[in-house]
């Protein structure tokens, strides 16, 4: 890679793992180079990936991290935007290729833990699951290394896609939910006629919010709700939760465009 941006602000990272779920969905993992550590961050925050074009211009875009803070690599669940400035470049990457990563990882879409909240409802569409995987991995690691024996809060993940192959990390979350009594994972697809082998929940996530908040007895005053993914889903869920008397401060949102 040619000389790049200010090394005090960016680090070089190499693509070490890539898995394509569909033509427009991929899991990508990058490892920092030059002995750089993974920058510190809080689960739910986003890192900025950057690509230097032939003219030396740095094209930058933020992406939520899938990896947890204790992990030595940076993992992302990405959707190809054909007319986008960066993802078409990322889709060309092969193992060993490099990108730049901004060292400062930021964002406010993080778990709000308090004595007055005992449940967290995490609602996502497709790649919007990324920050929630980071949160779940962190909570699992935190519980395993705790010396107090304190259990994590109750966490419910409601994850929707059109078809099952869009539900990245479904296998991991299903396994973790089977192992961890504090975690419930509910995957759902909205086009079962295109996925005849699917045997799970069907319907759009916004159509299922009331069903599962009632079934799992998630009360507005004791539950923090988070929505991440398609802006239309976020808008719909916001209205549903507000009508269910969720306080405005108990709803957090992260839109993916």
Question: Per-residue confidence of the chain (257 residues) as pLDDT tens digits?
Answer: 556 788 889 999 999 999 999 999 999 999 999 999 999 999 999 999 999 888 888 999 999 999 999 999 999 999 999 999 999 999 999 999 999 999 999 999 999 999 999 999 999 999 999 999 999 999 999 999 876 677 899 999 999 999 999 999 999 999 999 999 999 999 999 999 999 999 999 999 999 999 999 999 999 999 999 999 999 999 999 999 999 999 999 999 998 76
In this prediction, residue 203 carries a pLDDT of 97
In this prediction, residue 95 carries a pLDDT of 96
pTM: 0.96
In this prediction, residue 3 carries a pLDDT of 67
> Per-residue b/e over 139-170, b at no fewer than 16 CB within 10 Å?
bbeeeeeeeeeeebbbbbbbbbbbebebbbbb
Tell me the torsion sign for CA atoms 48, 158, 217, 149: negative
In this prediction, residue 145 carries a pLDDT of 87
Judged by phi (left if over 0) then psi (alpha if -120 to 50, else beta), residue 125 lies in: beta
């Amino acid at each position: 890679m040619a000389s790049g941006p200010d090394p005090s602000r960016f680090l070089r990272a190499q693509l070490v793992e890539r898995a394509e779920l569909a033509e427009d969905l991929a899991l990508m993992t990058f490892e920092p180079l030059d002995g750089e550590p993974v920058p510190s961050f809080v689960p739910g925050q986003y890192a900025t990936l950057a690509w230097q074009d032939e003219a030396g211009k740095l094209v930058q875009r933020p992406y939520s991290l899938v990896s947890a803070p204790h992990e030595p690599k940076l993992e992302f669940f990405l959707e190809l935007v054909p007319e986008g400035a960066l993802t078409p470049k990322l889709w060309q990457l092969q193992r060993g290729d490099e990108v730049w990563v901004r060292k400062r990882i930021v964002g406010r879409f993080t778990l709000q833990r308090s004595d007055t909240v005992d449940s967290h409802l995490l609602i996502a569409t497709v790649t919007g699951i990324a920050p929630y995987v980071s949160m779940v991995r962190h909570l699992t690691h935190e519980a395993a290394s705790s010396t107090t024996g304190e259990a994590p809060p109750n966490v419910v993940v409601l994850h929707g896609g059109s078809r099952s192959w869009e539900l990245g990390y479904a296998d991991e979350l299903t396994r973790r939910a089977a192992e961890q009594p504090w975690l419930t994972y509910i995957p759902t697809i909205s086009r079962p006629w295109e996925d005849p082998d699917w045997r799970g929940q069907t319907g759009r996530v916004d159509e299922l919010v009331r069903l599962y908040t009632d079934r799992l007895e998630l009360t507005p005053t004791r539950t923090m709700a988070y929505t991440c993914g398609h802006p239309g889903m976020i808008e719909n869920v916001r209205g549903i939760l507000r009508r269910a008397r969720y306080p405005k401060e108990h709803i957090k949102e992260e839109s993916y465009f």
